[in-house]
Amino acid sequence: MKSNTLILRTAALYITPLQLLFSIFLLLRGHDEPGGGFIAGLVASGAFVLFMFSYGVQSIRNLVRVDPRDLLAAGLLLGVLSGLPAMFLGQPFLEALWWEFPLPGEASLKLNTPLIFDIGVYLAVIGTILTIVVALMESEEDAGPIGKG
């Protein structure tokens, strides 16, 4: 099922990238201010669902190119992996750790386990929502219009 509304289809082309960009913003500001992996994943899922309602299930499969269940599994894996560095250093599982890697010039790359965990939550939320919505939309397409058995 896809929308035949020109206004919705046109709006989806402009709104989807903006929503995805905003979801990345929410993800990256997560532990310092309100935001994080869960709400960012919901915003990204909303963008994908809007696009799916506008252009159909196959369009989202072409856009994402990964099965939503694989996104869910990758998110869970990242969440678990984010707790392992602390264990290897003799600290409790999921203890927050920060690393700073110098880059050429005066810049540096800052990496931390809470961000890795948030990325895992982000992927798990997107994978969960897309798995549910794709399954519902595909079952509706298979059933056909009501009363036309």
Q: Looking at the DSSP assignment, which residues form a beta bridge with residue 109?
A: 101
Residue ranges per domain, the chain?
Answer: 6-143
Q: Indicate the pLDDT class of residue 79, thresholds 50, 70 and 90.
A: very high
- pLDDT at position 146 is 58
If you average pLDDT over every residue of the chain, what do you get? Answer: 89
pTM for this model (two decimals) = 0.86
Q: What is the spatial distance between Cα 3 and Cα 18, in angstroms, rounded to a whole number?
A: 20
Q: Looking at the DSSP assignment, which residues form a beta bridge with residue 112?
A: 98
16, 51 Cβ separation under 8 angstroms: yes
On the 0-12 / 13-18 / 19+ scale of CB atoms within 10 A, 122 is buried
pLDDT tens digits for 107-132?
A: 888 888 999 999 999 999 999 999 99
